[in-house]
Structures are given as structure tokens and as C-alpha cells.
Amino acid sequence: MSRNAFLRLALSGLLLAGASLILANHPAVFVVHAQQPTGVIPTVTGTLRGPSITVNLDQDFVNVRSGPGSTLYPRVGILMRGQTVPALARSEDGQWIQIRYLGAPGGLGWVFAANVTLSSQALPRAAAPPTPTFAATPTINPTLQAALIPAVTATGLATFTPAPPLEEPSFTDATPRPAAVPLGLVILGLGFVGALVAMASLLRGR
């Protein structure tokens, strides 16, 4: 056996002996612990301190605006039915309530007081924030606008000339009429003819 092989064998024996001594004196070093059962860890839920508002149950949602007004201030969010948030102040007219609303600029919003229930009436008054300035509507240069719109030449309406009046034709009877016979003469003639007929009948009867 060579010298290197002898040294390797001796070193392996020393390592095995040291490991055996460690296991004999400290058996818990290599003990695998079973998994501990996981339970429900109680969490601490905070409650609101101070005044708060709750959305009325007859409202599906309420608008949250950037100021106390529905026409001058835009909507920045909504609150759902039954939702509760901290109340900070009232408007000067008392119709709007300032609330803590993280979705709004500065974390503040305003809701209409008639749509929510206030937990405490002791709220300070707060001045309305400045009304937002809306972007100006761009206007078109009148000269450019006139250049884009084609010029329309006005033409007069055609004059109406009434038709000449219609002439109704008049008809004349060109057929010559026979001379009128007196009615008395006609009656005498008929009577004479009747008498002749009667006499002829009498003579034939004899």
C-alpha cells in the first residue's frame, strides 16, 4: 500500500469516528420536526374614531365630488350603499360634508348630506375649495374659417308671369227653326180629326 492511500484511509476513519461522536452526544441535531398545524391567526380590525358618515340604505351609491357642489365641482369617485368613511367638516351652508377619500386629490372629498347618515353633528365648518378651471374651448381664426367656407352667390328667384285669362266660347244654333204653329189651331185640327173618326165608326156600325 502506498503512502497516499494509507493517508486517505486514515483520514476517512477519523471523519467517521468524529461523526459517530457527534451523533452520540447531540441526537437532536438531525431530528426532523413534524409540520405544525396552521390555525386561524386573529387579526385586529380597527374601528373609525371620531365622526363618520354612512351611505343611506335607500341609495345604491353616492357621488364623491371635489367640492361642495354638483355643478361647479367634478366627481372624483363614489361610495356604495352602507359604506362608512371618516367625516371631517361641513360646508358653510351645511348641505355638504367633507370626508376622507383616498381616491380624490389631497385625500379629501365631499358628499351631499341628505344621502348619508352622520354619526355626530359636531363638525367644524370648512370653506369650499377653489373651483377648477376648465380648459378653454379652441376657437378658429375667422379669416381661416372664411377661407375654408366656399362663397355662395345669391341668385334671385324667377319671376312668375300669370297666364292670360281663358275665354269661354259661346255657341249659336245655326239650324233654322220652323215657324211656330198656334196652339189653338192644333187643338181644332185634332178635334176635327176626332170627329171624322167618330162619324166613320158610326157609318161602319150601321
CATH for 108: 2.30.30.40
Q: Is residue 87 included in any domain, yes or no? A: yes
**What pLDDT, on the 0 to 100 scale, is given for residue 87?**
94
User: Could you tell me the pLDDT band of residue 64, with boundaries at 50, 70 and 90?
Assistant: very high
Q: What is the pLDDT of residues 141-176, one digit of tens each?
A: 777 766 777 767 777 777 778 888 887 777 776 666
Per-residue pLDDT at 41 exceeds 60:
no
Please check whether residue 22 lies inside any domain of the structure.
no
Q: What is the domain range of residue 59?
A: 52-118
pTM greater than 0.85 (yes/no): no
In a domain, 82, yes or no: yes
- 3-state DSSP: the chain helix, strand, coil percent, rounded to 5? 30, 15, 50
54: pLDDT strictly greater than 50: yes
CA distance 93 to 67: 13
Q: Is the predicted pLDDT of residue 125 greater than 80, yes or no?
A: yes
Average pLDDT over residues 70-81: 93
pLDDT band at residue 69 under the 50/70/90 scheme? very high
Query: 97 lies in a domain?
Result: yes
Q: Is residue 178 part of a domain?
A: no
SS3 86: strand
Q: What is the DSSP letter of 171?
A: -
Could you tell me the CA-to-CA distances from 112 to 51, 75, 84, 90, 162 in Å, in that order? 16, 12, 14, 10, 72
Q: How many domains does the chain have?
A: 1
Whether 139 is in a domain gets the answer no
Q: Find residue 121's DSSP bridge partners.
A: none
Q: Please give the mean pLDDT across all residues of the chain.
A: 77
Q: Is residue 109 part of a domain?
A: yes
Q: Is residue 65 part of a domain?
A: yes
